[in-house]
Structures are given as structure tokens and as C-alpha cells.
Amino acid sequence: MDDLIKEVYEYINPKPVSDTASVADKGKKPPPAKGKVEDTGPVDPYAGLDTKDYKELGHQIKKFIGEGDLPPPGTDLTALVTDDSLLVNLFIQKLKLTFPGEPKSEQAKLDEIRANILKEKEILEQLAELEAANAGADPKAKGKAPPAKGKGAGGPSGEEQLRAELEAATKVQPEGWILIDFPRSLEQAKTMERLMNNGFTCMVDRPKDQVQKEFEAWSKFVSPASSIAQGQEIAFNGEPFIYPSATDAYLFLDVPSEECVRRISNRKIDPTTNTVYHLEDNPPPDGDAKLKDRLQDYLGEPD
């Protein structure tokens, strides 16, 4: 969430490219002027999209962050914004700008999966025919697949192409998003569900009618497995109820501070290959003296 806050803050307070360049080249002698150079603004990552609501949220967040530059690196920006609805709406606008247009329907997703399954089956059959033909064919002809269905004999039909098509058909295409470090509380999670799921309110937060109150009182004296609320035909069988949600899962990592310190300590990086090692969990291979000489302390990814 800190990254989203930083992004929208910088979006409503863009720095001219000339200013950015001057900061990067500070201390270097500027090249001789060859005429007036017109200043150009930064590239708009959301050019062509409606950013009115996004900018408005940015100005509201700015009231919490303050005027001027952002606080120094390491500042918990999310904690500075005390309006949970504002944070959730910022995330919603980010999703709309990142994934513009209507999302795929469940039926469209199923149709795409079925098409990929059929394509995978077809390619596997062609590869099997190729292997059978290569078993007794002229060595010079090995690796040449039979023409793909629907293609002429002169079209591409190599084994490498078939395997590339197979990989494309079976490759998992990531969809969706992962929001890190938010929500931080139960109330923020409820706000997120309410704003992203058409005003959904958790059952425990809904007003209880008289029937529900009587049912809860009655359930204190009978087994829940045999309880049937008045006016309901389905008995509670111990299985949890599933409600629609804006998210697939919430992951809460409960790790002791000592373990966090241990994981970030003793990390080394090979500057030649950019491979990161951990002296306890993932030590560098033994016997490579040159590698050990190259290792440097790893301080994490730059901001």
C-alpha cells in the first residue's frame, strides 16, 4: 500500500524531466547548450484513461501526508492515512487503471481453458506421430514434424514449433493481484469487502431481526448440528457458509522478530550473476573459491 500512496502522490505532483535529470546528474558538468531545449513532462502511465477519481484521491491523501516532498524512505505512509475508506478506494482506482475494460466472465474463462486442453491434446498427438516417424526414418529427416492440422505441407511444422505451442497452451497465465501489508486490521478488511463487493456486510455486523435473536437463544440449549432456524429448511451441519468476496484469500504471516532478523542477516550476493545466497538456508556451493571472493553483503532491493 505504501507504493500505491507514493505513486499517486508523485502522479499529482509530477517533476519535470529536466528536474529529474538535474538530480541524477548532480555534480557533473552540464553539456554545452546548443540552443534552447524545451522542457518536457514525465510520461503519463495512464494516458488515455480517466484519472479524475484517481487524482482526487491523491489530493485527499496529500492532506494526510503533507505538502512538499514525500517523507524520507522508510516512513510508514499507510499509517499516516487514517481513513480506511480512502485507502481502499485508492486500491480500487489502481485496479481500474491497471486492468481497464470489462473483466472476463467465468464462462469465457472456462471456454479458454477447454480450448487450451483440446489444443494440448492435438499437439501431443502430433508429437507422438513425429516420434513414431523418427524411430525408423532417415536421420536427416529427424526433427521434421508432420504438417499441423489445417496447415499446408509447406507451412512451418518443426518439432521446436510444436513444443513452443505446447508450452504456450499449458503455461499458467497469472491473473489478479496481491496486496501487501493491507488490510492491517479486521475493520480495514470489512471496509475493503464493503467497498469492493457491492456493499457487502459481514453477517455478524448486520442488524438482527427477532427470528435470528430467538434462533441464537434457542441454539444455546440444543446441538448446533440439529438446530433449524424458524422459517429455514436447511439444518446447520457444521460446514462453514461461503459468502461472495472481493478476494480469494487473506494471508497473515505471524513470524517472530528474531526469525525475521535471522532471515535478513547473512545474505550475500554474487555481483556477477546477481544470485542471492543465505549462509544458513541457501549457502554458496563449496569448492568455488572465486565465487566466495566475489560475494558481497546483500542489502535488499533498492527503493
Report, as an integer, the average pLDDT of 141-155: 47
Model confidence pLDDT, tens digit, residues 185-206: 888 888 888 888 777 777 677 7
Highest mean pLDDT among 5-19, 44-58, 101-115, 165-179: 44-58
Report, as an integer, the average pLDDT of 295-300: 84
Q: Break the chain into its structural domains and give their ranges.
A: 2-25+41-98, 106-170, 186-226, 257-297
pLDDT band at 278 (very low <50, low <70, confident <90, very high): very high
State residue 277's pLDDT score.
Answer: 92
For residue 183, cis peptide bond before it (omega within 30 degrees of 0): yes
Helices (H), ranges, the chain: 2-12, 17-24, 52-65, 77-80, 84-98, 106-135, 159-170, 186-196, 210-219, 257-264, 289-294
State residue 225's pLDDT score.
Answer: 53
State residue 268's pLDDT score.
Answer: 92
State residue 24's pLDDT score.
Answer: 45
State residue 123's pLDDT score.
Answer: 87
pLDDT band at 223 (very low <50, low <70, confident <90, very high): low
Q: Which three cell numbers stand for residue 254?
A: 505471524
Measured CA to CA, the distance from residue 10 to residue 179 in angstroms comes to 20
Lowest mean pLDDT among 131-135, 157-161, 250-254: 157-161
Measured CA to CA, the distance from residue 251 to residue 107 in angstroms comes to 28
Lowest mean pLDDT among 81-85, 102-106, 109-113, 159-163: 102-106
Measured CA to CA, the distance from residue 301 to residue 303 in angstroms comes to 7
Report, as an integer, the average pLDDT of 147-171: 66
Model confidence, pTM: 0.53
State residue 152's pLDDT score.
Answer: 42
Between 37 and 254, name the one with better pLDDT.
254
State residue 20's pLDDT score.
Answer: 45
State residue 28's pLDDT score.
Answer: 52
> What's the mean per-residue pLDDT of the chain?
76
State residue 153's pLDDT score.
Answer: 43
pLDDT band at 1 (very low <50, low <70, confident <90, very high): confident
